[in-house]
Structure formats: structure tokens, C-alpha cells
Structure 1
Amino acid sequence: MQACLIVYASMTGNTEELARFIAEGIRKSGGSVVIKDILEVDVSELQQYDGILLGAYTWGDGELPDEFLDFYDEMSQINLLGKKAAAFGSCDSSYENRGGAVDFLTAKLKESGAEVVQEGLKIDLAPNDVEKEQCIYFGVSFMAHFSQRKGA
């Protein structure tokens, strides 16, 4: 069983909700998953999991939220080689740089050596029913990358 960690920052609860639906998809696919708020996790914990999903809402004109900044900086000191990863987050399409936090997290995961296996998921504000299914599918799709590797 592949063990995954979802780390998120959420101000209004939207990104936390996305994390829970993504976790549902991971569990449906036979994976195990731990969900942690960014304020409750140490960056070294990323190395203990096969899969890493980072989620954050986009702040201001396309930036990471303040509570993610220290963790983000500390990621430069770890090696995630061999880890599968993806990013997600809630955003607001009324801003020019929609979902910029997801892009920052994706780039940092790659910089840290992780294999980013799918495009970042960006959901505007609170997910509707269709977007909830999209989040579940994101988790299922993430897990599919583990089975592809086994069969290769």
C-alpha cells in the first residue's frame, strides 16, 4: 500500500475541503493517506511518504499564503528524489495570476527532486459538486501513477 501525505493551508476551509476529497480518491484506490495542516507538519516528514500532495490557497495577486512560507523555504534543504508529487489549491479567477500558489508549489516539488506526476489542480473558491468529483478523481489519478510504475 502506497502511503501519501497531504499538507495544506486553508484560510476559509476551501483548500481543506479539497484535501479531504483528494484523500477520498486516494483511499478509493487502495492508498493510505495522512492529512495535515501546514502548521502541524515538519518538512522532514515529507521523506516518510511515497506520495506528497501540497495544497494552498492563493493569496493576493498570486502568492503563497504566509503560513506556507517557512515550510516552502525549508523544502530547499530536503531531497524528495523517488517521491511522486502534485499540488492543488483553491483560487479566484478574478485575479490575473489564478492559482499562483499551486504553480509555486509544483515548481518547489520539482526543485526538491520529486516527480510531479500530474498538472496542479486549481478550483475556484468552494468546490461545487462537479469539482468535488474532480478532486476525488485527482486522488484516484495520483494513485494510478504508482501502479503504472510497478507494471513498467
Structure 2
Amino acid sequence: MAKVILIFASMSGNTEMMAKAVSDGISAMGEGLKIIDIIDGPDAKELEDYDGILLGAYTWGDGELPADFLDFYDEMDSIHLTGKKAAVFGSCDSAYSQYGAAVDILTEKLRERGAEVYPQGLKVELTPEKEEEEACRTFGKNFVTFLRNSID
């Protein structure tokens, strides 16, 4: 069984809803995972202990990471994720010029640190409705398939 970690930031609860649905998809595939809210202060170095890494963040302002994610993001500069599989998701707001930029920022950082990132990050407009929650569960299931293809 692969070791999987999911770290998320949520201000309004939207990304937390996404994290729950993604984790449901992972669990449905028989994988366990550790879930951490970014406000609980995880150490980026911990990512090196996992086979699969999922990061979830809403986009703040005109295209920034949430303030709660900034220290963790900076800590990622000192870790090495070669051989790890990763994916990113987040709630977005199309009222801003950069739609879901936090997903793109975290995806790029994971690649920069050597992780193989799931081909498409998941972006959901504001509060996930039933259809988007199902897309999140499917995202979790697809991530497990992506992860298993590397460890078989």
C-alpha cells in the first residue's frame, strides 16, 4: 500500500469540501491517507516520507497562494521529491483575472522539486456542487491509479 498525504488550505470551506471528496475517492480505491489542514503547520520535509502527495489551495486575490500556504511553499525549496507522484486541486473564482493560479503555482513547485505531477490539476468554481464533488472523488480515484502505475 502506498503512503499518501493530502495537505489543504481553505478559508470559506470550499477547498476543504474538495479535500474531503478527493479523500473519499482515494479511500474508495482502498488507499489510506493522512490529511492535514495547512493551519496545523505541517513541515514540508514530511512530504519526502510519502509516495503520493496531494496539495489543495484556493487562489487568493488576483492570483496568489493563500497566506497560510506561504511558509510551507518556501520550505518546499529545501526538499527533494524525485520519485514521488503528486496532484493539486483548489477552489477558484472566475471573477479574478487569473483563474485558479494557486493550483498552477503549486503544480510548478512540485515539478521543480522533482515530483511527477498528475497531468491535470483540478479547479472548481467556488463551492463544489454535487457534480463537482463527484469530479473530486474521481480525481482521487484517478490519482490512485496514477500512483499505482509507478509502484507496481
Q: Give me the TM-score of the superposition, normalised by structure 2.
A: 0.96
Q: Find the counterpart in structure 1 of residue 81 from structure 2.
A: 80
Q: Find the counterpart in structure 2 of residue 125 from structure 1.
A: 126
The answer to whether the Cα contact below 8 Å between 1:118 and 1:142 also exists between their aligned partners in 2 is no
Q: Find the counterpart in structure 2 of residue 14 from structure 1.
A: 14
Query: Aligned letter for 2:89?
Result: F
Gaps of 5+ in 2: none
Superposed, 1:38-57 pairs within 5 Å as 38-40=38-40, 41-57=42-58
Give the share of equivalent positions with the same residue, in percent: 54
Paired with 2:49 and 2:37, the residues of 1 have a C-alpha distance of 17
59-68 vs 38-47, greater mean Cα deviation: 38-47
Q: Find the counterpart in structure 2 of residue 97 from structure 1.
A: 98
Deviations 1:66-96 (A, max 9, x none): 1101100110100011110011100101211
- Structure 1 runs (4+) greater than 6 angstroms displaced: none
Post-superposition offset of 1:150: 4.4
Q: Find the counterpart in structure 1 of residue 144 from structure 2.
A: 143
Paired with 2:55 and 2:70, the residues of 1 have a C-alpha distance of 13
Aligned length: 151
**For the aligned residues, what is the CA RMSD?**
1.0
